[in-house]
C-alpha cells in the first residue's frame, strides 16, 4: 500500500473511532489529523467535502465491520438465536474497556446528525437496513415468515442500538446483556 493510501486509511480509521467514541460534533478535524498522524493537506485531498464526507465514509466503514461481525456470529453452526446472542455478547465485551469502544454501531452518530445532514442520515439508514437485512435472511432460514422476520429484524436492531445508549450511560454492558438474555423469548416461534 502506498503512503497516500496509508494516509487516507489512517485518517478514516481515526475518524471512525473518534466519531463513535465522542460523536460527530465533539470530534474536530484537527484532532483527527493529530491522532492519525496524517499531514493536514491530506485530509482535504482524500476528503474534499470535509468532515461530512469523512463521517459518511466512517459510517460505511462501521456498517461493513458490524455486518461482517454479524455474519461471523451467524455463520457458525448455530441457530439464529444463538448467533445473534453471540454477536450481542461480543459488544458486551467492548464495554469492559469503555475507553476503547471498537465495533459499536452508529446510533449515536445517527441521533446526533439525522436532522442536520441528509447525506449522513441516509448513510446511517442504509447501515441499519443492511444489518436488519442480515438478521432477516437468517430468521427466514430458521422458518420465520417474511413479514414477521422483517419486523423482528428491525426490533432486534432497535433493541441493540437502544441498549448501546444505555450501556454508554451506565458505563457497563448490562443493558446489552439483558437484550441477549431475553432474545430467545422474542424469537420463540
Residue 74 CB neighbour total at 10 angstroms: 20
Cα dist from 185 to 70, 141, 181, whole Å:
20, 18, 9
> What is 52-186's CATH number, 2.40.50.140, 1.10.357.10, 1.10.286.10, 2.60.60.20?
1.10.357.10
* Dist. CA 78–CA 7, nearest whole Å: 40
pLDDT at 98: 55
Tens place of pLDDT per residue across the chain (189 aa): 456 668 899 999 999 888 887 889 999 999 999 999 998 889 989 999 999 999 999 999 999 988 998 999 988 778 999 999 999 998 888 776 655 555 566 887 888 888 899 999 999 999 999 999 999 999 999 999 999 999 999 999 999 999 988 888 888 899 999 999 999 999 987
| Contacts with 79 (C-beta within 8 Å, 6 or more apart), sequence order | 142
pLDDT at 167: 87
Which residue reads 445508549 in cell numbers? 165
Q: In a 3-state reduction of DSSP, which class is residue 185?
A: helix
pLDDT at 161: 92
* Dist. CA 6–CA 87, nearest whole Å: 30
Question: Would you kindly state where each structural domain of the chain is located, as residue ranges?
Answer: 52-186
Amino acid at each position: 500500500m502506498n503512503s497516500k493510501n496509508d494516509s487516507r486509511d489512517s485518517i478514516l480509521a481515526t475518524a471512525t473511532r473518534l466519531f463513535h467514541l465522542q460523536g460527530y460534533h465533539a470530534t474536530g478535524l484537527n484532532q483527527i489529523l493529530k491522532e492519525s498522524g496524517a499531514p493536514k493537506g491530506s485530509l482535504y485531498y482524500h476528503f474534499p467535502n470535509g468532515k461530512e464526507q469523512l463521517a459518511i465514509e466512517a459510517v460505511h466503514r462501521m456498517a461493513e465491520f458490524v455486518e461482517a461481525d454479524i455474519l461471523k456470529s451467524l455463520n457458525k453452526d448455530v441457530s439464529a438465536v444463538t448467533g445473534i446472542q453471540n454477536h450481542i455478547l461480543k459488544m458486551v465485551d467492548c464495554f469492559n474497556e469503555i475507553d476503547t469502544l471498537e465495533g459499536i454501531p452508529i446510533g449515536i452518530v445517527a441521533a446526533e446528525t439525522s436532522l442536520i445532514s441528509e447525506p449522513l442520515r441516509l448513510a446511517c439508514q442504509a447501515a441499519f437496513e443492511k444489518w436488519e437485512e442480515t438478521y432477516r435472511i437468517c430468521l427466514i432460514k430458521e422458518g420465520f415468515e417474511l413479514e414477521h422476520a422483517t419486523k423482528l429484524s428491525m426490533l432486534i436492531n432497535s433493541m441493540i442500538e437502544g441498549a448501546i445508549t444505555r450501556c454508554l450511560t451506565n458505563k457497563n454492558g448490562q443493558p446489552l446483556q439483558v437484550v441477549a438474555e431475553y432474545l430467545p423469548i422474542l424469537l420463540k416461534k
